[in-house]
Chains A and B, each alone.
Chain A
Amino acid sequence: MDADATMRATSDAGSSERAAAGSFDRFFRAWFPAVARSAALVARDRDAGPDLAQEAFARVYERWAGLASVDHARNLAFRAAINLAKTHRARSIRSSPAGLDAGLDSRRHASEDAGADPSDPETATTQRLIVLDALGALSPRQRACVVLVDYADLETSVAASVLGTAEATVRVHLRRGRAKLRERLTPSPEEESL
């Protein structure tokens, strides 16, 4: 994934780089995709991710001159986006309790009937919804830890800084979140035999 390479390169260079005013554009282009998609996963709302990330980056931009490093800015962007995503998710549940889950079962069955061809757009869409649905089995903190480490490729120590918690806490959430996610994403023997 191109974004991954960009992210890593920026992170390597960023640890000692002062977050000067002129470098915000480069920082934004490097990190916006990962932050936006992380927010989409935490919110379980693909459409909302970029908007949430834009709001998070706007907050970073306001504080840009005073930030000590690009790493600091990156952590702030992730933290703001994750917190906004949690709030967005809570609001979504209140406004539309069925939300994402509505229609997923029928899509899942339709996908199975179609033979689960991954190149089929309907199947691909269903698979995406299945992942977002499975993320719903995780607590918000577990979801944030799994997304930051397993999707955004952050070290657990960095994820801890992002979430304002201890690395040991991240590891606990990660372990439990991964277990739940694997359980939800692994087809049961009955499903496999269909």
Chain B
Amino acid sequence: MTADPILKERLSHAVADVPLDVEQRLAEIRGGRRSPSQEPRSRRPLTFLVAAALVALIGLVLWQVRPATDRGVADTSVQPTGTIAYASEVGAGTDTFDVHAYALETASSDDVLVVAGEVPDESPFVRWSPDGTRLAYVRTGEHPAIVIANADGSSPQDVDVGVPLEHGLFAWSPDGTRIAFTAVNPDPESAATPLAILDLTTGDVQTLWQTDGSWRSFDWSPDGTTFALTGGPLDANNAISGEDLGLYVVNADGSDFHPILRGSTVRYVRWSPDGTRLAFGLRKGDDGDYRYDVATAAPDGSDLSVLTSWAGWDNVPVWSPDGRWIAFSSDRDASPEQLEINASRADGDVGGFGVYVMRADGTDVRQLVPSGDDDVRAPVDWRA
């Protein structure tokens, strides 16, 4: 794509006579002087100290007025660390996402991991391998494939799985030798998307036909024995009845498939690193697919704990590697106008979704990556 000559002329004309003082500026740089617009260095420490004091004061005030909770006392000395991968819509309504890496220690998020347009908007998930050396995503569309790249997104390689892919949902096995994904039932009459497992060393694919339903998310347990899935089995009309909708588990060999939470719309399930909890988005109310809370439960569906209570979208939870924190997507800081649009899903112009983090008990919610009204952002993975 080359320059547009008409725009080039207009842009060039707009700045053609900007005085540059090239030689003077070069001399200043060689003499160690920065631009005149930069603050004198002698003022910087004072400015920094004032800013730091203000931040500390604001932090103290916010800490004092935080909502009370009865969920127990969190270990406040532990702070979230590592790097969170989050998906960010390229432009409103473009249906394509970048995936960025947000480094918690430096609060920076400059790096883009994955090519935009290759990550489907329905489930723009990118996940690092358990050893952190690779990342994978599923490219759907005209040339679907599982793509495995270096941990920074470089050198992507397509992996031919030999069967149609669906949704972009996948999970690494804990030992990094296999990838489970949602496949397409080859029966053209079926809308089912059963789980399949690709052995990366042999290329063999095993389909778990026991899971021949419609799944919106799933995850592989840390001990490798079990899958948790959200969605439900299909009836004769290729639909999920309301009572069948929910959270399911199945052994990794396809046996013992059964629901653990029925009659609820559940999305974006993730297993905690120690395998003792499942985190997911739990829909509340019946006014469309919008109002969700982040919740956790034991792997048998017991001990359900709803962690958030925002009136809009709190969803897409992702555990920290140490299991103490949960990142999630929320529109809690969107403008009132944008919240109305989100609630009505008007024209697909939803936005105002940022990335947040909270302790695993639901306390200490913090905004990590803010969002403009045009933006849709959600965490997709977290590594140490």
| Chain A residues near B (Cβ < 8 Å) | 1, 25, 28-29, 32-33, 36-37, 40-41, 46-55, 57-58, 61, 88, 124, 127-128, 131-132, 139, 142, 146-147, 149-151, 153, 155-156, 164-169, 171-174, 176, 178, 181-182, 185
Give A168 to B116 CA distance when docked, in angstroms: 6
Check A150/B3 contact, CB under 8 A, given A32-B20, A54-B28, A176-B91.
Answer: yes
Give A47 to B38 CA distance when docked, in angstroms: 14
B10-44: CB near A (< 8 Å → 1, else 0) gives: 11111110111110011011100011111000000
B358-373: CB near A (< 8 Å → 1, else 0) gives: 0000000000000000
A-B contact count (CB 8 A): 138
CB pair B116–A51 under 8 Å, yes or no, is: no
CB pair A55–B18 under 8 Å, yes or no, is: no
Check A54/B35 contact, CB under 8 A, given A25-B26, A36-B18, A172-B96.
Answer: yes
The size of the chain B interface, using a CB distance under 8 A, is 42
Give A54 to B112 CA distance when docked, in angstroms: 27
CB neighbours (8 Å) of A146 from chain B are 7, 11
Give A124 to B13 CA distance when docked, in angstroms: 9
CB pair B14–A132 under 8 Å, yes or no, is: yes
Minimum CB–CB distance from B357 to chain A (whole Å) comes to: 24
Give A136 to B257 CA distance when docked, in angstroms: 55
CB pair A55–B3 under 8 Å, yes or no, is: no
Check A172/B94 contact, CB under 8 A, given A28-B29, A46-B15, A57-B29.
Answer: yes
Give A88 to B38 CA distance when docked, in angstroms: 11
| Identity of the chain B residue whose Cβ is nearest the Cβ of A56 in the assembled complex | B35
Check A178/B4 contact, CB under 8 A, given A33-B20, A50-B19, A164-B112.
Answer: yes
| Identity of the chain A residue whose Cβ is nearest the Cβ of B96 in the assembled complex | A172
Sample of 26 A–B contacts (CB below 8 Å): A25-B26, A32-B26, A37-B12, A46-B15, A48-B37, A51-B37, A52-B37, A55-B37, A57-B29, A58-B34, A61-B30, A127-B14, A128-B13, A131-B11, A146-B7, A147-B11, A149-B3, A150-B11, A151-B12, A164-B110, A164-B111, A168-B96, A168-B115, A168-B116, A169-B117, A173-B91
Minimum CB–CB distance from A61 to chain B (whole Å) comes to: 5
Give A151 to B10 CA distance when docked, in angstroms: 9
Minimum CB–CB distance from A112 to chain B (whole Å) comes to: 18
| Identity of the chain B residue whose Cβ is nearest the Cβ of A169 in the assembled complex | B116
CB neighbours (8 Å) of A54 from chain B are 25, 28-29, 34-36
CB pair A41–B15 under 8 Å, yes or no, is: yes
Minimum CB–CB distance from A14 to chain B (whole Å) comes to: 18
Q: In B92-124, which residues have CB < 8 Å from any A CB? A: 94, 96, 98, 110-112, 114-118
Residue in B3, B22, B110 whose Cβ sees the most chain A Cβ within 10 Å: B3
Minimum CB–CB distance from A157 to chain B (whole Å) comes to: 10
CB pair A51–B36 under 8 Å, yes or no, is: yes
| Identity of the chain B residue whose Cβ is nearest the Cβ of A152 in the assembled complex | B3
Give A25 to B2 CA distance when docked, in angstroms: 29
Minimum CB–CB distance from B327 to chain A (whole Å) comes to: 22
Q: In B302-346, which residues have CB < 8 Å from any A CB? A: none
Q: Is B8 on the interface with A (CB-CB < 8 A)?
A: yes
CB pair B98–A55 under 8 Å, yes or no, is: no
Q: In B75-98, which residues have CB < 8 Å from any A CB? A: 90-91, 94, 96, 98
Residue in A54, A131, A185 whose Cβ sees the most chain B Cβ within 10 Å: A54
Give A51 to B20 CA distance when docked, in angstroms: 9
CB pair B90–A46 under 8 Å, yes or no, is: no
Q: Is B1 on the interface with A (CB-CB < 8 A)?
A: yes
Q: Is B349 on the interface with A (CB-CB < 8 A)?
A: no
Give A165 to B117 CA distance when docked, in angstroms: 12
Q: Is B374 on the interface with A (CB-CB < 8 A)?
A: yes
Give A165 to B113 CA distance when docked, in angstroms: 8
CB pair A37–B15 under 8 Å, yes or no, is: yes
CB neighbours (8 Å) of B15 from chain A are 37, 40-41, 46, 49, 128, 151
| Identity of the chain A residue whose Cβ is nearest the Cβ of B93 in the assembled complex | A176
CB neighbours (8 Å) of A127 from chain B are 13-14
CB pair A49–B116 under 8 Å, yes or no, is: no
| Identity of the chain A residue whose Cβ is nearest the Cβ of B111 in the assembled complex | A164
CB neighbours (8 Å) of A169 from chain B are 90, 98, 112, 115-117
* A131 in complex: contacting residue of B2, B10, B36, B91, CB < 8 Å: B10
Give A182 to B8 CA distance when docked, in angstroms: 11
Give A181 to B14 CA distance when docked, in angstroms: 14
* B35 in complex: contacting residue of A33, A52, A142, CB < 8 Å: A52
CB neighbours (8 Å) of A37 from chain B are 12, 15-16, 18
CB pair B35–A55 under 8 Å, yes or no, is: yes
CB pair A131–B13 under 8 Å, yes or no, is: yes
CB neighbours (8 Å) of A139 from chain B are 91, 374
B119-149: CB near A (< 8 Å → 1, else 0) gives: 0000000000000000000000000000000
CB neighbours (8 Å) of A173 from chain B are 90-91
Question: 9 tightest A-B contacts by CB?
Answer: A131-B14, A54-B35, A51-B37, A37-B15, A51-B35, A169-B116, A151-B11, A166-B115, A55-B35
| Identity of the chain B residue whose Cβ is nearest the Cβ of A88 in the assembled complex | B37
Check A33/B3 contact, CB under 8 A, given A55-B35, A61-B29, A164-B112.
Answer: no
Check A50/B116 contact, CB under 8 A, given A28-B26, A55-B35, A55-B37.
Answer: no
Give A165 to B98 CA distance when docked, in angstroms: 8
CB pair A185–B26 under 8 Å, yes or no, is: no
